[in-house]
Amino acid sequence: MHQKHNKTKVLYIITKSNWGGAQRYVYDMAMGISKNGYEAVVALGGNGTLKEKLGGAGIRTITIPNLERNVNIFSEWKVFFDLLKIYRIERPNVIHLNSSKIGGLGALAGRFAKIKRIIFTVHGWAYKEDRNFISRKIIKFLSWLTIIFSHKTIAVSLDDYRTAPKLFVKKKTRMIHNGISEIKFKEKSAARNELKKYAGMSIPKGALIIGTISELHKNKGLPFMIRAVHSLIKKGYNITFFIISDGEEKIRLERFIERLGLQDKVFLTGHIDKASEFLQGFDIFTLTSVKEGLPYVLLEAGLAGLPIVATKIGGIPEIVENMKSGILVHPKNALEAERALSFLIDFKKKKEEFGNNLKEKVERDFTLEQMVADTVNLYS
């Protein structure tokens, strides 16, 4: 028997098992439906944090050995047949795909296996990344095929919904915002004391702490915020910048920080488990991405009551209202980021007002319960 107690089985599939927004989404959905009488299973690539967290929570996982983020035609065929095998053994009622690569392969394999319900969630369209024209067109065509093969596609932001491929598939896409539950934050002084340990040195007295939780990836635009911080420090501002997370750009960013002479002002902490608990140790939260879906970290920063400086891309403007709950800047624009930071530093009342406004909005409009309920409605 593959179906335990006749429960509806949902198989979530995601390319990478590190910890980012898409992985957080899969974890929250698997946990959410498990509490509501569904059986959740997660298939993924690698043995990272997501797999550990799911295992600790009692959610069964399946590792797909050939799954890699970068496209390789030989490994793609292996993954395709791995998926067919998994579908045959697991016999899920629903497969819920996450990430562009596994979306296409998973949906096609799902059609071959005659899966009753195929759902694909877009965490930011890959064709909106900084690529050449031909690459973007090819990826958009493949995204369109994924929507065709899926029964329903979920966009996590209005921006992704509006920019989704439309030809023959307009009615197959739904918009469901990411949602978030309460976070038990560390008290401000405790969070700062722990951050000092990651810095490996003391933080200057009275320093204003700017922070982000952001994968060290080119899509996150971190050099532009580092440049903005550098300019403010040269003008005499007493600030420290913490970047929490890890990623493939770590060595380049370390060299960039060293070249600017910011080793005692900008700190790459590496991965910190339950990083969101440290948010109240920050004074301002930043996210200068060049590509985003609907970032969880902004929802977390909102619950912490932090003012935001972020880029006006993807679903970010759906969370942060410019000059009401934060300041929105153009991507790849260090000067705008610098001006936004200086405004929040110089006008403390506005900083507090923006933080309070964002907290109210997140608590009202971005609940985990609503996200799970709206998504489950698409499973039948």
Q: Where are the domains of the chain?
A: 4-175, 188-365
pLDDT above 70 (res 184): yes
Which pLDDT value is given to residue 79?
93
CA distance 341 to 285: 10
Instruction: Judge: domain 4-175, CATH 3.40.50.2000.
Output: yes
Average pLDDT (176-194) is 95
Q: Residue 203's pLDDT is what?
A: 83
Alpha carbons within 13 A on the beta-carbon side of 304 = 28
Q: What is the mean pLDDT of the chain?
A: 93
Q: Tell me the two tokens of residue 88.
A: 């045959």
Q: Quickly count: other Cβ atoms within 10 Å of residue 342's Cβ.
A: 16
**Confidence grade of residue 3 (pLDDT, cut at 50, 70, 90):** very low
Tell me: pLDDT of 198 over 90. no
Map 113-166 to HEC letters.
Answer: CCCCEEEEEECCCHHHCCCCHHHHHHHHHHHHHHHHHCCEEEECCHHHHHCCCC
pLDDT of residue 124: 84
pLDDT of 258 > 60? The answer is yes
**Does 188-365 match 4-175 at the fold level?**
yes
Predicted local distance difference test score (pLDDT) of residue 68? 62
**What local confidence, expressed as pLDDT, does residue 225 receive?**
98
Mean pLDDT of 96-114: 95
pLDDT digits (tens, 9 = 90+) for 203-215: 888 899 999 999 9
Q: 226-265 b/e with 16+ CB inside 10 Å = b?
A: bbbbbbbbeeebebbbbbbbbbebeeebeebbeebebeeb
pLDDT of residue 101: 84
Which of 59-73, 95-109, 195-209 is most confident? 95-109
> Which tokens is 44 given?
């993924």
Q: What's the pLDDT tens digit per position in 270-283?
A: 989 899 999 999 99
CA–CA dist 361, 319 (Å, integer): 8
What is the domain class of 188-365 according to CATH? alpha beta
Q: Quick one: pLDDT at residue 72? A: 67
Among 6-15, 81-90, 164-173, 279-288, name the one with the lowest average pLDDT.
164-173
% of the chain beyond a pLDDT of 70: 97
Task: Please give the average per-residue pLDDT across 360-375, as a whole number.
Answer: 98
- 131 pLDDT exceeds 90? no
Mean pLDDT of 149-176: 91
Tokens 């722990």: give the residue: 194
Between these two residues, 7 and 241, which has the higher pLDDT value? 241
Cα atoms found within 13 Å of the Cα of residue 79, Cβ hemisphere only: 27
The model's pLDDT over 17-75, given as tens digits with 9 standing for 90+, comes to 988 889 999 999 999 999 999 999 999 999 999 999 999 999 999 999 877 655 566 77
What pLDDT, on the 0 to 100 scale, is given for residue 6? 75
Determine the average pLDDT of the residues in 249-265. 97
pLDDT score, position 190: 95
What pLDDT, in 10s, does the model give residues 323-343?
999 999 999 999 999 999 999
**HSE-up of residue 250 (Cα within 13 Å, Cβ side):** 11
